[in-house]
């Protein structure tokens, strides 16, 4: 599983549905005016050249996370594979929590993941708030046709009369009021004459329906709130379940793909669209909603509310903290768009929800980086190794492949000298069995350098090793004729002390110790991992330029990235993206 080259995508139930729709010509009569709009606009358009239309509809109330990546890869991927268009639509119908900073970050992130909302000459970037006028007109049409009414009950009364799964609901006393009254009241609601929560517009469906979502659901509520795009123009805002089908229809979406929680909303989705089509507001063919299982990843939380809390209360350094499952965080951690797409591809698409092990995300990163990341040596917990029989001041050139798994890669060079940095745990004065690294009397290979024989160590007054001593065996240099003359069981990495580059290295671990930090009644803050970041001062191979975003494999240690915010060549700051092997099994 080391290849990221494109293999044909695995089939799934959504692909099957799309292929059937294409074979049956379900959408072949669909007209598209080149921009969103109701029937009157669309019927003037030509036949739609996009064979399907999907959409990714984030609410700009937070940053995107790995769960969103699944939906992005799915929607944009299907459109790409079937000659269609995928719209990026900001579902900004909830004024209080939305803002432009999130809008811009989401745009950047979807682009970074490698997707585009351009289709032929179209730029399919939309805002639900641009449809507020249409939604209002459609609501009026529903009132006129007897399919909606303004309810004056309090929110407690509305809740109390909704019924239960076993009991039917009770009709509102305002349910059969004349359409003119509801129209006038809706107009007053819009005009700001009523306080928040005093009136709602409801669809008139069936208070006895076994599906609770069809018991006269709300369409509009009053919210005297400033909107990030429409300002104070509106003080009524559409409910998500009302706005969403309309947004899809105005945009000519064919396959509206959402997560399973919305399955019970599908009858309402269809009810709205059929009504509006019957009223001449929308054209057939109408969008259809399909549901798939959301991504639940172990050891993370993805609820935006919880992520916001971690950020606001300072448990992490920001939305882009490398420990968060946000896409800006994963990016800073060293995740590549290719790795995230590979992960989403491997996830597949299904209708049964399950928890995905975090290892799977990490493995996708290793598999993506293995063939492309240049190798370097770093020593993160350094202790001096002195080659006592090597002349002071002398250096020798060592050559190593930049990437042994990439036949096109070049080689790199670095000096060998008398004093080296090695990892502290590569020396033990009294080793256990099967320890093949340095201990007095043992011979090991210094990777790409010489074979050395350990002769002892120096210690401080606390017994801590301060210096390890060894003698090199002449004629054993890697690449030379005698390299394999002396057999060794251990190979260790090193950097020349006089030449190595000092670096701050941030060793990240999982943010939570519990695989399901927020399941059941658990408080996710209780399982925060106190050791989720450890900062060390290490040494890097000479020639390792820590320009922000540079990625390497540090041999034996893992994949690392120069931090995109804090790193410079002069003062490298390096993040550990992932270890070479999984330490959690
Ligand atoms: P919140 O945490 O506020 O519930 P959300 O994740 O629902 O946020 P949206 O902005 O509404 O956020 O999501 C945009 C799209 O991403 C939706 O279509 C949603 O279905 C999809 N999505 C969100 N989370 C996941 C997930 N974990 N797996 C797959 N798709 C997801
Ligand atoms: Mg949501």
| Unique residue bearing structure tokens 């959402």 | 258
Nearest CA to ligand 1 atom 26: 67
Ligand sitting nearest the alpha carbon of 97: 1
Residue 259 Cβ inside 6 Å of ligand 1? The answer reads yes
Residue 5 has pLDDT above 80, yes or no: no
Residue 325 Cβ inside 6 Å of ligand 1? The answer reads no
Q: Which atom of ligand 1 is nearest to the CA of 71?
A: 30
Residue 67 Cβ inside 6 Å of ligand 1? The answer reads yes
- 304 has catalytic annotation: yes
State the catalytic residue, choosing from 15, 31, 51, 59: 59
Q: Which atom of ligand 1 is nearest to the CA of 294?
A: 28
Q: Measure 59 CA to ligand 1 centroid, in angstroms.
A: 8
Ligand sitting nearest the alpha carbon of 71: 1
For 546, the 3-state DSSP assignment is: coil
pLDDT of residue 6: 57
Predicted confidence band at 2 (pLDDT cuts at 50, 70, 90)?
Answer: very low
Q: Which atom of ligand 1 is nearest to the CA of 304?
A: 2
Q: Extract the tokens encoding 36.
A: 């969103």
Residue 533 has pLDDT above 80, yes or no: yes
Rounded to the nearest 10 degrees, what angle do helices 66-81 and 337-347 cross at?
80
Nearest CA to ligand 1 atom 15: 58
- 274 has catalytic annotation: no
Residue 302 Cβ inside 6 Å of ligand 1? The answer reads yes
d(CA 437, CA 528): 35
Nearest CA to ligand 1 atom 23: 68
Q: Extract the tokens encoding 577.
A: 């993206």
Q: Which atom of ligand 1 is nearest to the CA of 297?
A: 27
pLDDT of residue 65: 98
Residue 324 has pLDDT above 70, yes or no: yes
- CB atoms closer than 10 angstroms to residue 417: 19
d(CA 447, CA 414): 12
Residue 303 Cβ inside 6 Å of ligand 1? The answer reads yes
* pLDDT tens, residue by residue, 38-65: 999 999 999 999 999 999 999 999 999 9
Q: Extract the tokens encoding 317.
A: 């350094």
Residue 518 Cβ inside 6 Å of ligand 1? The answer reads no
Residue 97 Cβ inside 6 Å of ligand 1? The answer reads no
Q: Which of 152, 147, 150, 239 is nearest to 187 (CA)?
A: 150
267 preceded by a cis bond (ω within 30 of 0)? no
- 294 has catalytic annotation: yes
Q: Which of 220, 149, 147 is nearest to 182 (CA)?
A: 149
Q: Which atom of ligand 1 is nearest to the CA of 70?
A: 29
Ligand sitting nearest the alpha carbon of 92: 1
Residue 26 has pLDDT above 70, yes or no: yes
Average pLDDT over residues 115-134: 97
Q: Measure 101 CA to ligand 2 centroid, in angstroms.
A: 18
Alpha helix segments (H runs only) across 161-303: 179-190, 240-250, 266-278
8 A C-beta contact, residue 562 and residue 572: yes
Sheet of strand 148-151, all strands in order from the earlier edge strand to the far edge: 148-151, 200-203, 218-222, 236-238
Residue 472 has pLDDT above 60, yes or no: yes
Q: C-alpha distances in angstroms, 110 versus 125, 301, 412? A: 12, 21, 35
Alpha carbon dihedral 304, 308, 310, 311, in 10-degree steps, equals 140
d(CA 494, CA 502): 14
Residue 407 has pLDDT above 90, yes or no: no
Q: C-alpha distances in angstroms, 5 versus 8, 263, 338, 342, 370? A: 10, 35, 10, 10, 13
Residue 265 has pLDDT above 50, yes or no: yes
d(CA 425, CA 436): 12
State the catalytic residue, choosing from 202, 204, 304, 477: 304
Average pLDDT over residues 195-212: 97
Q: Measure 67 CA to ligand 1 centroid, in angstroms.
A: 7
Q: What is the DSSP letter of 226?
A: -
d(CA 348, CA 232): 43
Average pLDDT over residues 336-348: 96
Average pLDDT over residues 276-283: 97
State the catalytic residue, choosing from 15, 294, 346, 556: 294
Give all strands (DSSP E) within 307-464, no chain letters: 355-356, 374-376, 378-379, 382-387, 396-401, 411-416, 419-423, 443-446, 451-459
Query: Beta 296-297 vs 355-356: how paired, if at all?
Result: parallel
Residue 4 has pLDDT above 50, yes or no: no
8 A C-beta contact, residue 243 and residue 131: yes
Q: Measure 294 CA to ligand 1 centroid, in angstroms.
A: 8
* pLDDT tens, residue by residue, 77-110: 999 999 999 999 999 999 988 899 999 999 999 9
Q: Extract the tokens encoding 249.
A: 């229809």
Q: Measure 504 CA to ligand 1 centroid, in angstroms.
A: 36
Residue 3 has pLDDT above 50, yes or no: no
Residue 291: beta bridge partners?
258
8 A C-beta contact, residue 86 and residue 286: no
Residue 87 Cβ inside 6 Å of ligand 1? The answer reads no
| Unique residue bearing structure tokens 């984030």 | 58
| Unique residue bearing structure tokens 């064979």 | 51
Residue 405 has pLDDT above 90, yes or no: no
Nearest CA to ligand 1 atom 29: 294
Average pLDDT over residues 371-391: 97
pLDDT of residue 486: 87
d(CA 576, CA 559): 6
Q: Measure 70 CA to ligand 1 centroid, in angstroms.
A: 9
φ, ψ (nearest 5 deg) of residue 515:
-65, -25
* Averaged pLDDT score across all residues of the chain: 95
8 A C-beta contact, residue 347 and residue 296: no
d(CA 165, CA 486): 79
Average pLDDT over residues 424-439: 96
Q: Which of 54, 55, 58 to probe ligand 1 with, by most ligand atoms within 8 A of CB?
A: 58
Q: Which of 12, 60, 62, 71 to probe ligand 1 with, by most ligand atoms within 8 A of CB?
A: 71
Q: Measure 341 CA to ligand 2 centroid, in angstroms.
A: 22
* pLDDT tens, residue by residue, 145-174: 999 999 999 999 999 999 999 999 999 999
pLDDT of residue 1: 41
Q: Extract the tokens encoding 402.
A: 């930049």
| End-to-end CA separation in angstroms for the chain | 19
8 A C-beta contact, residue 517 and residue 524: yes
8 A C-beta contact, residue 297 and residue 356: yes
Predicted confidence band at 583 (pLDDT cuts at 50, 70, 90)?
Answer: low
């Amino acid at each position: 599983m080391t290849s990221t080259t494109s293999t044909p995508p695995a089939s799934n139930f959504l692909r099957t549905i799309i292929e059937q729709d294409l074979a049956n010509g379900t959408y072949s009569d669909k007209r598209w005016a080149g921009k969103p709009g109701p029937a009157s606009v669309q019927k003037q358009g030509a036949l739609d050249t996009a064979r399907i239309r999907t959409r990714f509809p984030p609410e700009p109330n937070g940053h995107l996370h790995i769960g969103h990546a699944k939906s992005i890869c799915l929607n944009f991927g299907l459109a790409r594979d079937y000659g269609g268009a995928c719209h990026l639509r900001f579902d900004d119908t909830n004024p209080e929590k939305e803002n432009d900073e999130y809008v811009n970050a989401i745009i950047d992130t979807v682009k970074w993941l490698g997707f585009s909302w351009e289709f032929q000459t179209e730029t399919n970037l939309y805002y639900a708030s641009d449809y507020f006028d249409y939604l209002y007109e459609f609501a009026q049409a529903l009132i006129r046709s007897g399919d909606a009414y303004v309810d004056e009950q309090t929110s407690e009364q509305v809740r109390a009369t909704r019924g239960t799964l076993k009991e039917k609901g009770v009709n509102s006393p305002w349910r059969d009021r004349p359409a003119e009254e509801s129209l006038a009241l809706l107009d007053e609601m819009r005009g700001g004459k009523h306080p928040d929560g005093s009136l709602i517009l409801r669809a008139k469906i069936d208070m006895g329906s076994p599906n609770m979502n069809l018991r006269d659901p709300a369409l509009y509520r009053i919210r005297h709130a400033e909107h990030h795009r429409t300002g104070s123009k509106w003080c009524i805002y559409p409910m998500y379940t009302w706005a969403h089908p309309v947004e899809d229809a105005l945009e000519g979406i064919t396959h509206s793909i959402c997560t399973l929680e919305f399955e019970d909303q599908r009858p309402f989705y269809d009810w709205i669209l059929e009504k509006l089509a019957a009223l001449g507001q929308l054209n057939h063919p109408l969008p259809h909603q399909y549901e798939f299982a959301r991504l639940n990843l172990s050891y993370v939380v993805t609820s935006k509310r919880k992520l916001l809390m971690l950020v606001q209360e300072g448990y992490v350094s920001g939305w882009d903290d490398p420990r968060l499952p946000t896409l800006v965080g994963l990016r800073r951690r060293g995740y590549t768009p290719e790795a995230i797409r590979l992960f989403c591809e491997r996830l597949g698409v299904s209708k049964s929800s399950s928890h995905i092990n975090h290892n799977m995300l990490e493995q996708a990163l290793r598999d993506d980086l293995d063939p492309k990341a240049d190798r370097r040596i770093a020593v993160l917990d350094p202790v001096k190794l002195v080659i006592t029989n090597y002349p002071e001041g002398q250096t020798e050139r060592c050559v190593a492949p930049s990437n042994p798994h990439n036949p096109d890669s070049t080689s790199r060079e670095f000096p060998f000298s008398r004093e080296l940095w090695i990892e502290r745990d590569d020396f033990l004065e009294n080793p256990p069995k099967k320890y093949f690294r340095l201990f007095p009397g043992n011979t090991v290979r210094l990777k790409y350098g010489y074979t050395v024989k350990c002769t002892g160590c120096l210690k401080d007054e606390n017994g801590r090793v301060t210096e390890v001593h060894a003698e090199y065996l002449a004629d054993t240099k890697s690449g030379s004729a005698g390299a394999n003359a002396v057999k060794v069981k251990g190979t260790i990495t090193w950097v020349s002390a006089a030449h190595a580059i000092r670096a701050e290295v941030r060793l990240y671990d999982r943010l939570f110790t519990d695989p399901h930090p927020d399941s059941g009644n658990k408080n996710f803050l209780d399982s925060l991992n106190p050791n989720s970041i450890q900062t060390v001062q290490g040494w890097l191979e000479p020639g390792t330029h820590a320009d922000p975003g540079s990625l390497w494999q540090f041999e034996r240690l893992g994949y690392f990235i120069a931090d995109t915010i804090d790193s410079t060549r002069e003062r490298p700051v390096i993040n550990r993206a992932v270890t070479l092997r999984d330490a959690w099994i």
